[in-house]
Chain A
């Protein structure tokens, strides 16, 4: 679900919430040592996690409208891909993404 690849041993899963805590086509904000992280849930109940800063002007992506596998930044409407953090062309830029694990209805992030 995420583009970040790490050796299995380096992964440390942190439980953040239940999937039901995130509205469908919406997001929640998780406070972390990396700064705020936006955790999105789309209509297919896929969950994605991006640093909550648009690569354009650092707008909080968590506040944007979610559709398909994208979110529209609330500040200037850049569209950011949820699965890789990449801005949709012709815009260019990338928001850092974090690995997500779904287990028994709970959402885990790798924040290491």
Chain B
């Protein structure tokens, strides 16, 4: 089949991102031609400010060099401005006469900076701030001249002013409004920002309107700027004037081609203009009446556009919530959403003028709708996520201001502020990645997302406890281009655009029973998925349709396939089940005999009150299990692990309940229960809580009058204290409430979510409404759990008797 022709006009970040996304998902669909008016390939326009400030070079900010286009078979025309689109003949024509035919046209013409229509605006030394040429002009002027005036106290103006100051000029910022960055900051935060910048040596003139730019006469010809005069008659000297008063979508080409424009090229949710063959993305676009000037929404548009160009047609762009980060070294500032509020909103404020920290959170109907952070932006990414996900925050309202502190508390020197870390300090303790290498990778590889950083540096890719730090580093390095992923709409993996929730719903509604069926029905883009989605699908199928869906061992991680834990040298560990942590002389003798017989090098007591046999060869496993003659401990599985218990009232002089037997009963009731992740329980016989029940998925604590049940605790990467669910009187109630809670988790959580993550998302109120307040639902959940577990075999016993033998046998030649 002959390929269709795709022509792109404009070679900026939004357009090239769309092309990148397109060739990722449909590499062979189009012959692609790109026209760029600038002489450069695609660079990161957001990082022009660090270039101006001398913190980076042009080479540092290139995103796609000329070789990239060649390697992807894209015809690139640099320095060629398209002057005409002929929609009838379906071709574009450049100023130099170059023509290109198209089947699909992508307009990414960007925007033009707005010039104030004041006298003198055309003088030498009056420039805007938009591209490499402007940046170079400023750098050059800074070498020759003394006084600079920046008109416009917005994001771009302040970054330009900061850069010029760092290059040695006297800089005055002139701003029409009452405070700086009025679209991103409230008055208080702007005041603090101004103070910080004044301390850096910048001067400000607020509420000031420019009347005229004064220049030297040079024989009737306009000469160079010498001063700026204001409405009130005042005048300050200027050798360089930078206009940063806003941008205007560049719609000239589209308008001339007869495409409907209204403050931007008007597009629908699939980024098509009124001519459906013609797409538009980026700053030139007006979508639902809005034009965007920050890069993150442009990337969202690019993704949707690519999806539609690839004929997938499932993506829609529905507008973006914006967040802002100022790229001025030493200034920590973050704002997002609607922070001005109104009659129906509430504010939570934190203001420490001396310490230089200001935080404002704006809420409506128990949802965060905006925030401004100054001086401490650690929680910016978290607030932004709450805001985008429209999460109900009433349960966490009392500590919302103090942040999620989701930064783990292990593995990175106790640090939780990336800005305060030096380049050599370790961010990711799992993979030994320091801050400097992350920053370097972001700059050199042009990374924008957490996933990119994980792939290239491995930071945050193992236990994830440093995710918050990595997000901070990303956001301070690429500025507004970084947007935390929308947790709610995150696809399962790169094989699909569907979320975990969508997959679960479809499996239920369509009664799908195999992984292949799910992939076919939901149009997976890969033939048999990947190591991320297959285990998730296998779990969703088994948990939705117990006794109907068939387990696929090849879609399980090796530990669940071999029913033992793989170790770094390829041997396995074996942990037999000891109900409630209780054992006997006979079991201990058998364990000792197995250790001798199979020459098992290490025997260790685990944190969950079991005995771990380490260094077992894989082909010995079935015989080890046979000789042990104990049930599988499932220490290798996303399943019920252990129920840890204290001694309890049988022996302990403080014990008020029989915690050991309660634990044994719970463990027998829940044994062989697979789950989205591992599940750990503990039962303590009195509030001294020797079994540490308050850091377990389900913790039970005996009191004089019954049992207290706690849920969603965690003792791992980030210690999380379990939350009180309810108090019950009897052993049977403990079994029913704990089982029902875990069944709810099994049915609704995303694969690899621990209970703490699941409950954080749905809220404890939701759990209570299902488990505590609604006896019928609770009983139904508990019944479904028992239905799923009934007849489930002991995997060790089966394999000791010869099942799945080839999994454990080596081939000899």
A29 touching B554, Cβ below 8 Å: no
26 contacts between A and B (CB under 8 A): A16-B813, A21-B806, A23-B553, A28-B811, A30-B811, A31-B811, A32-B813, A39-B811, A42-B528, A43-B528, A57-B568, A63-B558, A63-B561, A63-B562, A65-B531, A65-B534, A65-B555, A65-B557, A65-B558, A66-B554, A67-B528, A75-B568, A76-B462, A79-B531, A90-B456, A111-B813
**What's the minimum C-beta distance from A94 to chain B, rounded to whole angstroms?**
19
Report which B residues bind A (CB closer than 8 A). 445, 455-456, 462, 526-531, 534-535, 553-555, 557-558, 561-562, 566, 568, 570, 806, 810-813
Q: Which of B455, B566, B568 contacts A63 (CB 8 A)?
A: B566
B568 touching A65, Cβ below 8 Å: no
Contacts of B806 in A (CB 8 A): 21, 23, 28
In the bound complex, CA of A32 to CA of B811 (Å): 9
- Judge if A93 is at the interface, Cβ distance under 8 Å: no
Task: Please tell me the size bucket of the interface on A.
Answer: 35 or more
- Chain A, residue nearest B809 (CB): A28
A31 touching B810, Cβ below 8 Å: yes
Task: Report, nearest first, the 6 A-B pairs whose CB atoms are least far apart.
Answer: A72-B531, A65-B531, A63-B558, A60-B570, A25-B554, A74-B558
B527 touching A68, Cβ below 8 Å: yes
- Chain B, residue nearest A41 (CB): B554
Contacts of B530 in A (CB 8 A): 65, 67-68, 70, 72
- Judge if A24 is at the interface, Cβ distance under 8 Å: yes
Contacts of A67 in B (CB 8 A): 526, 528-531, 534
Contacts of A36 in B (CB 8 A): 810
Contacts of B812 in A (CB 8 A): 30-31
Contacts A32-B813, A90-B445 known; list 5 others, CB within 8 Å: A60-B570, A63-B561, A67-B530, A68-B526, A74-B558
Residues of A57-112 at the interface with B, using a CB-CB cut-off of 8 Å, are 57-60, 63-68, 70, 72, 74-77, 79, 90, 109, 111
In the bound complex, CA of A26 to CA of B552 (Å): 11
A14 touching B566, Cβ below 8 Å: no
A77 touching B570, Cβ below 8 Å: no
- Chain A, residue nearest B455 (CB): A90
In the bound complex, CA of A28 to CA of B602 (Å): 27
- Among B456, B527, B535, B562: residue with most chain A CB under 10 A: B527
- Chain B, residue nearest A109 (CB): B813
Residues of A6-44 at the interface with B, using a CB-CB cut-off of 8 Å, are 14-17, 21, 23-26, 28-32, 36, 39, 42-43
**What's the minimum C-beta distance from A48 to chain B, rounded to whole angstroms?**
15
Report which A residues bind B (CB closer than 8 A). 14-17, 21, 23-26, 28-32, 36, 39, 42-43, 57-60, 63-68, 70, 72, 74-77, 79, 90, 109, 111
**What's the minimum C-beta distance from A31 to chain B, rounded to whole angstroms?**
5
**What's the minimum C-beta distance from B157 to chain A, rounded to whole angstroms?**
37
- Chain A, residue nearest B554 (CB): A25
A74 touching B811, Cβ below 8 Å: no
In the bound complex, CA of A67 to CA of B556 (Å): 12
Contacts of A64 in B (CB 8 A): 531, 558
A16 touching B811, Cβ below 8 Å: yes
Given A65-B557, A68-B526, A75-B568, A31-B534 contact (CB < 8 Å): no
Q: Which of A25, A59, A90 contacts B528 (CB 8 A)?
A: A25
- Chain B, residue nearest A15 (CB): B813
Contacts of A30 in B (CB 8 A): 810-813
B566 touching A31, Cβ below 8 Å: no
- Chain A, residue nearest B561 (CB): A63
In the bound complex, CA of A42 to CA of B813 (Å): 22
- Chain B, residue nearest A26 (CB): B554
**What's the minimum C-beta distance from A20 to chain B, rounded to whole angstroms?**
10
Q: Which of A14, A23, A111 contacts B554 (CB 8 A)?
A: A23
**What's the minimum C-beta distance from A30 to chain B, rounded to whole angstroms?**
4
B527 touching A43, Cβ below 8 Å: yes
Contacts of A76 in B (CB 8 A): 462
Contacts of B534 in A (CB 8 A): 65, 67
In the bound complex, CA of A39 to CA of B806 (Å): 13
Contacts of A14 in B (CB 8 A): 813
Contacts of A21 in B (CB 8 A): 806, 811
- Among A16, A63, A75: residue with most chain B CB under 10 A: A63
B568 touching A74, Cβ below 8 Å: no
- Chain B, residue nearest A14 (CB): B813
**What's the minimum C-beta distance from B617 to chain A, rounded to whole angstroms?**
12
**What's the minimum C-beta distance from A58 to chain B, rounded to whole angstroms?**
8
Contacts of A25 in B (CB 8 A): 528, 554-555
In the bound complex, CA of A27 to CA of B30 (Å): 38
- Among B445, B557, B558, B562: residue with most chain A CB under 10 A: B558
Contacts of A15 in B (CB 8 A): 813
In the bound complex, CA of A67 to CA of B527 (Å): 8
B456 touching A17, Cβ below 8 Å: no
B813 touching A31, Cβ below 8 Å: yes
In the bound complex, CA of A79 to CA of B558 (Å): 15
Contacts of B566 in A (CB 8 A): 60, 63, 74-75
Q: Which of B527, B535, B570 contacts A65 (CB 8 A)?
A: B535
Contacts of A60 in B (CB 8 A): 566, 570
- Chain B, residue nearest A24 (CB): B554
**What's the minimum C-beta distance from A72 to chain B, rounded to whole angstroms?**
4
In the bound complex, CA of A104 to CA of B725 (Å): 63
In the bound complex, CA of A16 to CA of B562 (Å): 22
**What's the minimum C-beta distance from B494 to chain A, rounded to whole angstroms?**
11
Contacts of A74 in B (CB 8 A): 557-558, 566
**What's the minimum C-beta distance from A18 to chain B, rounded to whole angstroms?**
11
In the bound complex, CA of A43 to CA of B526 (Å): 12
- Chain A, residue nearest B458 (CB): A76
A65 touching B811, Cβ below 8 Å: no
In the bound complex, CA of A67 to CA of B538 (Å): 14
In the bound complex, CA of A39 to CA of B558 (Å): 16
In the bound complex, CA of A42 to CA of B529 (Å): 12
- Among A16, A25, A26, A59: residue with most chain B CB under 10 A: A25
**What's the minimum C-beta distance from A50 to chain B, rounded to whole angstroms?**
14
Contacts of B555 in A (CB 8 A): 25, 65
In the bound complex, CA of A79 to CA of B529 (Å): 13
- Chain A, residue nearest B559 (CB): A74
